[in-house]
Amino acid sequence: MTDKNNTIESSEVQKKANFIDLQIEEDLKQGKNNNCVHTRFPPEPNGYLHIGHAKSICLNFGIGEKFNGKTNLRFDDTNPSKEETEYVESIMEDVHWLGFDWEDRLFYTSDYFGKLHKFALKLIRDGKAYVDDQDAETISKQKGTPTRPGIESPHRNCTIEENVDLFNRMTAGEFDEGAKVLRAKIDMSSPNMHMRDPIIYRIMKAHHHRTGDKWCIYPMYDFAHGQCDYWEGITHSICTLEFEVHRPLYDWFVDQLQETAYRPRQIEFARLNLTYTVMSKRKLLELVKDGHVKGWDDPRMPTISGLRRRGYTPESIRCFSEKIGATKVNGMIDVSLLEHSVKEHLNKTAQRVMGVLNPLKVIITNYPENQSEELDAINNPENSEMGIRKVPFSRELYIERDDFMEDPPRKFFRLGPGREVRLRYAYFITCTSVIKDNKGEITELHCTYDPASKGGNSPDGRKVKATLHWVSIEHAVKAEVRLYDRLFNDKNPDGHKEIDFKEFMNPDSLQVLPNCFIEPFVKDAKPFDHFQFERLGYFNFDIDSTKEKPVFNRTVQLRDSWAKAQMKK
């Protein structure tokens, strides 16, 4: 799984230090935490991981590798109403697929429910936490606003004994959901809302995916996260910017826990935003649940499983992550950078193959009927070690419909009446006649070939302006090809206050081509195998494939300067 050799990042992408690296180096220089570096990736199992999580995974595990430290995987499962085992499994698969390994350090916040409960009791005994039985609305009102201080709860100064008793009874399930909460006693007039006696335990009579029905009270994120970091010996707790204002609270809890000089430190970075995509789990879930896409792994989704199925490689995602870096600037990355990362990797590694998406029949009139031959084709011009393969050639072929124009403009180099082009690895052919049906639609082309140009070179040094891909009809594999485009037409679909992001969905994000023909080499393809269909793009073998009908997903198109020039007109 962790194929880290032969990756582009190891050889070509120089890893430059980001602000987190710099802070860690500074901590090490000061000899903090016995010079250890230990990070963690803490997903909540309430959805599938997406490319934004990939950034976080690469950051956290990357730091582990860079500083000779360790990285834990910890499921942050404090809210049983949202979390499911299905998500736990997909997350583990995705992290492994990306090429990272938590070894024996797989944890769940739910592992610590007992310790967390004891800690809560300690806070109560220290007079630093109390049970409040006001309803949510009242508590919320008492919190004040960012510009106005809050007021204290009438239960704030109950006795320790009362609070211990109440909390024990909460734990025992004596109260209804929502009837009582445990709050930390901090400062109701703090300018930081999170310090205004935050709720640390709530009653939830829900079945937990791991602890079952053992608990009916569950800790809040703020109360659990830093403590788990502490107990796991995490030194740098890296999270996204919106937790910046939580940091004083994170530190406050650690203060209550701290026994030695060891102390975890929270550092925040900007989450990833990509143009033309939505990244929030809630919105992705909505796309899945409402059937706008076919599932979490729909190749149009920015999920890791979607990108995998689309044909992205772990190397390309890691390389992307390295290129975008990590800062505190809230920006938006152009998807073209992501696309560039796959193209870069696949160009060096993908098997080349010829495939015709929109077939136009060609008959080589001077080529004998019932004859065929096998021609040598290079598997990957970027890597000679990948060798060559045989491609069958015969009298009846398909070429790409776009590669022929009856009345070609000057700059169109490809086939036209009377023109000569090269069929890649095969022969020069000249178009002699164009056959149409009664609707005027071109149905086939008649061409002649030059037997002396076998392999694609003419002995007389004659030049042609274009080289076309082709496929022998008799030998071709019929396939379905799925062309994907961006899911949204707007650069920032969830950046409009008045308009729902779904309004911007691209109706043409999926185009299915049922009648494509690929050279027989792909017969043995396995799911997720990558190919370059020459001159077209990168494609991979989809899991929907059957024996009768292989299916290929287009990962990305190759650069196409002809098409680009046409677009400008």
Partner RNA sequence: UGACCCGUGGUGUAAUUGGCAACACGUCUGUUUUUGGUACAGAAGAGUCCAGGUUCGAGCCCUGGCGGGUCAACCA
Q: Which of residues 318-347 bind RNA (CB under 7 A)?
A: 323-334, 336-337, 340, 343-344, 347
Query: Which stretch in 47-55, 59-67, 129-137, 284-292 sits in contact with RNA by CB under 7 A?
Result: 129-137
Q: What is the DSSP string of 344-388?
A: HHHHHHPEEE-EESSEEEEEETTSPTT-EEEEEEES-TT-GGG-E
Query: Which stretch in 172-180, 228-236, 301-309, 522-530 sits in contact with RNA by CB under 7 A?
Result: 172-180
The single residue listed with the structure tokens 């239960």 is 155
Tell me which of 92, 188, 270, 513 binds RNA, using CB under 7 A: 270
Phi, psi of 505 (to 5 degrees): -65, 140
- Catalytic site includes residue 441: no
What is the nearest approach in angstroms of RNA to the Cβ of residue 509?
20
Distance CA 457, CA 464 (A): 10
Quick one: which of 191, 196, 193, 243 has its CA closest to 222? 243
Helices 314-324 and 51-66 meet at what angle, rounded to 10? 80
Please report whether residue 256 would count as binding RNA according to CB under 7 A: no
- Catalytic site includes residue 281: yes
| Catalytic residue of the set 25, 44, 152, 444 | 44
Please report whether residue 164 would count as binding RNA according to CB under 7 A: no
Please report whether residue 534 would count as binding RNA according to CB under 7 A: yes
Query: Are residues 504 and 513 in contact, defined by beta-carbon separation less than 8 angstroms?
Result: no
What is the nearest approach in angstroms of RNA to the Cβ of residue 528?
20
Please report whether residue 26 would count as binding RNA according to CB under 7 A: no
Please report whether residue 499 would count as binding RNA according to CB under 7 A: no
C-alpha of 61 from chain center: 16
Please report whether residue 194 would count as binding RNA according to CB under 7 A: yes
Site for RNA in 463-492 (CB under 7 A): 466-467
What is the nearest approach in angstroms of RNA to the Cβ of residue 449?
13
Site for RNA in 42-71 (CB under 7 A): 42, 44
Distance CA 167, CA 169 (A): 5
Comparing CB distances to RNA, the nearer of 388 and 543 is 388
Distance CA 48, CA 303 (A): 7
Please report whether residue 564 would count as binding RNA according to CB under 7 A: yes
- Catalytic site includes residue 271: yes
Burial class (CB in 10 A: 0-12, 13-18, 19+), 181: buried
Comparing CB distances to RNA, the nearer of 36 and 378 is 378
Site for RNA in 93-112 (CB under 7 A): none
Please report whether residue 19 would count as binding RNA according to CB under 7 A: yes
Comparing CB distances to RNA, the nearer of 121 and 220 is 220
Q: What is the DSSP string of 56-124?
A: HHHHHHHHHHHTT-EEEEEE----TTT--HHHHHHHHHHHHHTT---TT-EEEGGGGHHHHHHHHHHHH
Q: Which amino acid is at 368?
A: P
Helix (H) or strand (E) holding 266: strand 265-269
Helix (H, G, I), strand (E, B) or coil at 158: coil
SS3 string of 299-342?
A: CCCCEHHHHHHHCCCHHHHHHHHHHHCCCCCCCCECHHHHHHHH
Count of chain residues binding RNA (CB under 7 A): 89
Site for RNA in 367-426 (CB under 7 A): 380-382, 411-414, 422, 424-425
Comparing CB distances to RNA, the nearer of 136 and 499 is 136
Comparing CB distances to RNA, the nearer of 173 and 527 is 173
Please report whether residue 285 would count as binding RNA according to CB under 7 A: no
| Catalytic residue of the set 180, 183, 247, 281 | 281
Site for RNA in 223-242 (CB under 7 A): 225, 241-242
Residues with catalytic function: 44, 271, 281
